Chain A
C-alpha cells in the first residue's frame, strides 16, 4: 500500500480464480471503475492457454492484476496489496507475491477438501495459521451471492456465475469506490435476467462491505484529483490501441487498409477488433494459413491498398519468405508480431520479447527491413502510425513488435485529436519509372496494379537497377544488395533524436530497453535516482535502423544494461553494431519484469563499476 500517514498513493489489487470464473471481466471492470475516478493505473491480465482449464488446478488459475494510483503509475505493481482468491489454487499460486500485511479475500465455499487437494494443500491454509502475516477476510461468497440474486429468478448455476460481480462490489467498497459505472455497464452488456442477477450481486457485495463493518482497506477510489495531464481519456489495451492506430495511420496516408490474418494467440484480438472496423476503411480477411495471410496483405499493397498482417512468433516464422518478396519487390507492408513465449508453440498466453533476432535478422540472404516496437498500450497507437509512415514513404515491409503483455494490458489513454496528427505524405509517382529510386529515400514509386499508364512487371528475381529486367549480372546484384541495405539505413535520416526517459547523458548507468518493459524500467530508474544514484533510462522505439545519435549517447554512459524478456538479443545487436560492451538483464519466465528485479541488478552493475554503493 506504500501508505504514509494513512493515505495510500497506490494500491495493487489482484483477482484470481478458475479460468471460468470471469476473473478477466472482473479485473477489467474494476480497472474501468478506477479509471473513471481519475486514478492512473496499469494492468496485468495473466491467464492460462486453455479456454476452460480443469477447475481448481493451479495451472488453470486466471489472474488480473491492477495497480492504481494517485501518482503516475508505470507498472501493474510488484507486490499485491489486496488479493481476491476464489479457490485454494488461486491462493497458492499468488501467495508468493503478496505484500506482507496485505489483505486476502477468500471464498470459503471453494475451500473444500477436494479443491484443497487439487491445489496441493494437505491442510486448509486459512485455518492452519499459514496466513498469519496477512489480514484474511474469509467469506462464503457463493452463498452470499445466491442469496443476493434470488429475486432475479435465475437458475442456481446462473446465480453462482454472478459470484465475480459480488466480489467486485465488495472490492469497490473496500477501496472507496461506488457501483454506478459498473451497474450501467452490466445493463448494457447482459440480457434481462442475467443483468438483474449480476446487478443484484454487485450491489449486495458493495452493501456487504458497509453493513459487515469490514473496514475500508484503503479508500483510494474515493480520493479526488488525478496525476494525469489534462485531457479526455479512455481505457485501452495494447491490441485495441494498435488497431485504432492502423486505421488512423491509413487514413492519414489517404489509404484503405486490408488486414490479412490467421488466428493465433495473442494476435487474434487484433483480428477481432479490426473485423468490426469495416466502416472505417478496414477490410479484414481471415486467411487459410499464416502464409496466405501475409500473401493477401502483400497482394493488397500490390494493388494499392495498405496491406497489414498480424501474428505471433510461430506465425512470423511462416511469413518469412513473403517478407523477402516484399523486400525484393519494394512494396509497403506492415507486419505486427504480438510476441509470446517460445520456441515452437511455447507459452501461447505468456509474454516474451524473444523475436527481436527474428524481426531484425531472421530471413534468408541480406534482407534488411525496419523494425518498430511499442512500449505501452497507448504507444501501440503511435507505433502503428509510425509503421505505416515508414512503410509507405520508404516502400518497405515494416515489422511492428508488441507482446502478449502489451496486447492485453490496459491503461488510461489520452485520446488524440485527429486534427493534431500530421498527415502521412506519400511520394508522388507521377512521371517516374516504377524501377527508379528516389535519391532522398532510395525508394521506388508505388504504382499499384490497375493504374493507367503504369504497367510494369516485378517479382522476386533479382532485377536490373533502373530497367527492372531480370538480371543475374554480378555487379548489378552487388549494387542492388547494397541499395536494399542503404534504403533501410536511410530511414534513420528521418527519425527523431533519441530522448532519455529518465536521467542525463553521462550518468553512471544506462538502463536500455525496448517494448513492454518500459514502465518497470522507468520506475526502477526513477526510484534509484531518488536514492541519489546516477541511473538513466532509454527506451528504443526504432530497433532497425537505430537512430544516428544512439551511438554517441550510449558512449556517454559508464555502463549500459539492456533489460529484456529474452536471452539478451538487444544487447547482442548493440555489441555487434557499435563494438561496445553492453550487459544484459534477462528474464524469460513468461511474466513481465518487476521493478525490484531491475533495481537489484542495476545496483550490482553500479557496484561492479564504482565499488561499493550504499
Chain B
C-alpha cells in the first residue's frame, strides 16, 4: 500500500465499481436508478476508485457510499459537507462525491451546505430530493409541499418549502443542475459536467420515494405531463418547453420570467429568453419556479476553489522547528 495518489487510470466497468454489498433500499426506490447512473458516470469518466471517496450524511440517500467500490464514509446527519471539506483540504487529489438527501442537506445540514457552496470546494454534491423524510418513516421535509399530510403534519404542512436551487444559488453556487431520477441518460451527462466543473458541482436529483411520497414528481416525470413541466436548459438556446410550443419570456413589469405559448398573444419563439448559464439572476428566476422546472445545467460559472486557494496560500515549508520552539526571546540558566 503506497501513499501516493499517482496511480494510472484503469479501464473498469460499472460492475467493477459496484461494491460487494447487499443494497438495502426499498424495491422500486428512485435511488436504484441514481446508483446505476453514478456507477456509469464514474466508469465513463475513467475515475480511479482508489482516489475516489463517496461521503454522505444520514438518510436513505446517505447509504449510498456502502454500495460503491471506492472509498466511502457514511457520517452523521447533516455533516457530510464538513467531513468532505476536511478530506478535500487534506488530500486535494481526492475525487470527492457528497451524497445527501433533502432533510440532510437543507434542514439539519443547511448551514454546512451554505458554507460548502460559498467556499466552492472542488467536489460533486448530489442532493437526492424526494421531499420527505424516508428513513424516519415519512415526516415532512424542508422541500415538502405546503399542505402535505404526513405523520408529523396530520393537518398538512404549513412550512413554506425551500427551493434547493434558490438556496445554493443564493449562497454563491458556481454550478447548479437539476435532473429527475428517471432521466438516466441526462443524469449521467449532467453528473459528468458537474464532475468536470472546477468547484462545487451541485446536482439536485428529483427522486421518487415509493413508500412515503410516491408520485411526488408524477406530473413532472409522467409521459403525458412531463413536456409541460420540464424545461431543459441549453446554453445559447431559447428557453422553450412543451415540444417548443411554449417558452419563458422576461416580463419587465413582473420582473420575472413568465410562460407564453408560441403564436399566442403576439409572442413568438424570439420572445423566449436565450439561456445563459453564467447569468445568476436568470438561474435564480428559473430555480424558484414551481410550474415549469428548469432541468439540466441551469447555472455554471468559473470561480476560484477553496482547496485551490488554501494550498496556493500555504507558505513555503520551514524546517527549523527547534528555532520555532525557542521563539524570539530566550535566556540561559547556567
| Chain A residues within CB distance 8 Å of chain B | 32, 35-36, 38, 181, 185, 226, 228-236, 244, 247-248, 251, 256, 258, 260, 277-281, 283, 285, 287-289, 291-292, 294-305, 307, 321-322, 324-325, 329, 415-418, 429-431, 447-461, 469-470
Tell me whether B315 and A279 are in contact (CB under 8 A). Answer: yes
Residue in contact with B333 in the complex, picked from A185, A231, A416, A460, CB distance below 8 Å: A231
In the bound complex, residues from chain A placing their C-beta under 8 Å from that of B112 are 288, 291-292, 295
Tell me whether B86 and A258 are in contact (CB under 8 A). Answer: yes
Complex CA distance for A373 and B85, rounded to whole angstroms: 29
Asked whether any CB of chain A lies closer than 8 Å to the CB of B310, the reply is yes
Q: How far, in Å, is B110 (CB) from chain A's closest CB?
A: 11
Interface centre among B81, B83, B321 (most CB of A within 10 A): B83
Asked whether any CB of chain A lies closer than 8 Å to the CB of B242, the reply is no
Q: How far, in Å, is B48 (CB) from chain A's closest CB?
A: 9
The 9 closest A-B pairs by CB, nearest first: A299-B86, A295-B82, A459-B74, A457-B72, A296-B86, A299-B83, A300-B90, A303-B87, A279-B318
Q: How far, in Å, is A471 (CB) from chain B's closest CB?
A: 12
Complex CA distance for A287 and B89, rounded to whole angstroms: 12
Measured CB to CB, the nearest residue on chain B to A228 is: B333
List 28 A–B pairs whose Cβ atoms lie within 8 Å, in order of A's numbering: A232-B331, A248-B321, A258-B89, A285-B85, A292-B112, A295-B112, A296-B86, A298-B83, A299-B84, A299-B88, A299-B89, A299-B90, A300-B90, A302-B90, A303-B53, A303-B94, A305-B91, A321-B76, A329-B73, A429-B1, A430-B1, A448-B3, A450-B51, A450-B53, A451-B2, A451-B3, A455-B71, A458-B73
Complex CA distance for A285 and B310, rounded to whole angstroms: 9
Please choose the segment from B62-70, B211-219, B224-232 that sits at the chain A interface, where 4 or more of its residues have CB less than 8 A away: B62-70
11 more A-B contacts (CB under 8 A) besides A38-B331, A230-B332? A232-B330, A232-B331, A234-B331, A248-B325, A279-B316, A280-B324, A292-B115, A299-B55, A456-B71, A459-B72, A459-B73
Residue in contact with A299 in the complex, picked from B82, B321, B327, B329, CB distance below 8 Å: B82
Complex CA distance for A228 and B331, rounded to whole angstroms: 12
Tell me whether B91 and A455 are in contact (CB under 8 A). Answer: no
Residue in contact with B85 in the complex, picked from A228, A256, A299, A460, CB distance below 8 Å: A299
Q: How far, in Å, is A329 (CB) from chain B's closest CB?
A: 7
Q: How many A-B residue pairs have CB under 8 A?
A: 216
In the bound complex, residues from chain A placing their C-beta under 8 Å from that of B82 are 287, 291-292, 294-296, 299
Interface class of chain B by DSSP: mixed
Complex CA distance for A228 and B21, rounded to whole angstroms: 63
Which residues of chain B in 114-153 are interfacial with respect to chain A, using CB atoms and an 8 Å cutoff? 114-115
Asked whether any CB of chain A lies closer than 8 Å to the CB of B254, the reply is no
Residue in contact with A278 in the complex, picked from B85, B94, B314, B326, CB distance below 8 Å: B314
In the bound complex, residues from chain A placing their C-beta under 8 Å from that of B316 are 279
Complex CA distance for A427 and B51, rounded to whole angstroms: 22
In the bound complex, residues from chain B placing their C-beta under 8 Å from that of A185 are 329
In the bound complex, residues from chain B placing their C-beta under 8 Å from that of A230 are 332-334
Tell me whether B2 and A452 are in contact (CB under 8 A). Answer: yes
In the bound complex, residues from chain A placing their C-beta under 8 Å from that of B74 are 457-461
Tell me whether A233 and B325 are in contact (CB under 8 A). Answer: no
- What band does the interface of chain B fall in when counting residues whose beta carbon is under 8 Å from A? 35 or more
Residue in contact with A226 in the complex, picked from B75, B79, B333, CB distance below 8 Å: B333
Asked whether any CB of chain A lies closer than 8 Å to the CB of B199, the reply is no
Q: How far, in Å, is B4 (CB) from chain A's closest CB?
A: 7
Tell me whether A234 and B76 are in contact (CB under 8 A). Answer: no
Q: How far, in Å, is A263 (CB) from chain B's closest CB?
A: 15
Complex CA distance for A291 and B86, rounded to whole angstroms: 12
In the bound complex, residues from chain A placing their C-beta under 8 Å from that of B93 are 450
In the bound complex, residues from chain A placing their C-beta under 8 Å from that of B88 are 299, 303
| Given A234-B329, A299-B83, A450-B5, A305:B315 Cβ within 8 A | no
Measured CB to CB, the nearest residue on chain B to A37 is: B331
Q: How far, in Å, is A113 (CB) from chain B's closest CB?
A: 43
Q: How far, in Å, is A420 (CB) from chain B's closest CB?
A: 11
Complex CA distance for A448 and B94, rounded to whole angstroms: 11
Tell me whether B50 and A451 are in contact (CB under 8 A). Answer: yes
Complex CA distance for A256 and B91, rounded to whole angstroms: 11
In the bound complex, residues from chain A placing their C-beta under 8 Å from that of B322 are 417-418
Tell me whether B50 and A233 are in contact (CB under 8 A). Answer: no
In the bound complex, residues from chain A placing their C-beta under 8 Å from that of B65 are 457, 459
Q: How far, in Å, is B69 (CB) from chain A's closest CB?
A: 7
Q: How far, in Å, is A494 (CB) from chain B's closest CB?
A: 25
Tell me whether A302 and B87 are in contact (CB under 8 A). Answer: yes
In the bound complex, residues from chain A placing their C-beta under 8 Å from that of B332 are 230-233
| Chain B residues within CB distance 8 Å of chain A | 1-5, 7, 19, 21, 49-51, 53, 55, 58, 65-66, 69-76, 79, 81-91, 93-94, 111-112, 114-115, 310, 313-318, 321-322, 324-327, 329-334
Tell me whether A459 and B326 are in contact (CB under 8 A). Answer: no
Complex CA distance for A280 and B316, rounded to whole angstroms: 9
Complex CA distance for A36 and B81, rounded to whole angstroms: 49
Residue in contact with A459 in the complex, picked from B75, B85, B86, B114, CB distance below 8 Å: B75
| Given A325-B75, A449-B53, A289:B331 Cβ within 8 A | no
Tell me whether B333 and A449 are in contact (CB under 8 A). Answer: no
Complex CA distance for A260 and B83, rounded to whole angstroms: 11
| Given A300-B87, A307-B86, A469-B21, A283:B333 Cβ within 8 A | no
Tell me whether A304 and B69 are in contact (CB under 8 A). Answer: no
Q: How far, in Å, is B92 (CB) from chain A's closest CB?
A: 9
| Given A251-B321, A279-B318, A415:B330 Cβ within 8 A | yes
Complex CA distance for A277 and B66, rounded to whole angstroms: 37
Tell me whether A229 and B333 are in contact (CB under 8 A). Answer: yes
In the bound complex, residues from chain A placing their C-beta under 8 Å from that of B313 are 278
Measured CB to CB, the nearest residue on chain A to B49 is: A455
Tell me whether A415 and B50 are in contact (CB under 8 A). Answer: no
Interface centre among B55, B85, B114, B334 (most CB of A within 10 A): B85
Measured CB to CB, the nearest residue on chain B to A235 is: B329
Complex CA distance for A371 and B313, rounded to whole angstroms: 34
| Given A244-B324, A429-B1, A450:B94 Cβ within 8 A | yes
Measured CB to CB, the nearest residue on chain A to B86 is: A299
Residue in contact with A449 in the complex, picked from B87, B111, B314, B321, CB distance below 8 Å: B87
In the bound complex, residues from chain A placing their C-beta under 8 Å from that of B5 are 450, 452
Complex CA distance for A36 and B329, rounded to whole angstroms: 9
Tell me whether B66 and A470 are in contact (CB under 8 A). Answer: yes
Interface centre among A296, A430, A453 (most CB of B within 10 A): A296
Residue in contact with A305 in the complex, picked from B58, B90, B321, B329, CB distance below 8 Å: B90
Tell me whether B79 and A291 are in contact (CB under 8 A). Answer: yes
Complex CA distance for A321 and B112, rounded to whole angstroms: 15
| Given A278-B314, A291-B82, A299-B85, A416:B325 Cβ within 8 A | yes
In the bound complex, residues from chain B placing their C-beta under 8 Å from that of A304 are 3, 90-91
In the bound complex, residues from chain A placing their C-beta under 8 Å from that of B331 are 35-36, 38, 232-234
Q: How far, in Å, is B41 (CB) from chain A's closest CB?
A: 18
Measured CB to CB, the nearest residue on chain A to B80 is: A295
Tell me whether B91 and A448 are in contact (CB under 8 A). Answer: yes
Tell me whether B87 and A295 are in contact (CB under 8 A). Answer: no
In the bound complex, residues from chain B placing their C-beta under 8 Å from that of A415 are 325-326, 330
In the bound complex, residues from chain A placing their C-beta under 8 Å from that of B58 are 460
Complex CA distance for A294 and B327, rounded to whole angstroms: 29
Tell me whether B86 and A460 are in contact (CB under 8 A). Answer: no
| Given A304-B3, A449-B53, A281:B317 Cβ within 8 A | yes
In the bound complex, residues from chain B placing their C-beta under 8 Å from that of A429 are 1
Tell me whether B50 and A452 are in contact (CB under 8 A). Answer: yes
Tell me whether A260 and B86 are in contact (CB under 8 A). Answer: yes
In the bound complex, residues from chain A placing their C-beta under 8 Å from that of B19 are 457
Interface centre among B72, B74, B82 (most CB of A within 10 A): B82
Measured CB to CB, the nearest residue on chain A to B85 is: A296
Interface centre among B7, B50, B73, B74 (most CB of A within 10 A): B73
Tell me whether A452 and B330 are in contact (CB under 8 A). Answer: no
In the bound complex, residues from chain B placing their C-beta under 8 Å from that of A278 are 313-315
Residue in contact with B321 in the complex, picked from A283, A418, A470, CB distance below 8 Å: A418
Q: How far, in Å, is A313 (CB) from chain B's closest CB?
A: 21
Q: How far, in Å, is A16 (CB) from chain B's closest CB?
A: 25
In the bound complex, residues from chain A placing their C-beta under 8 Å from that of B314 are 278, 283
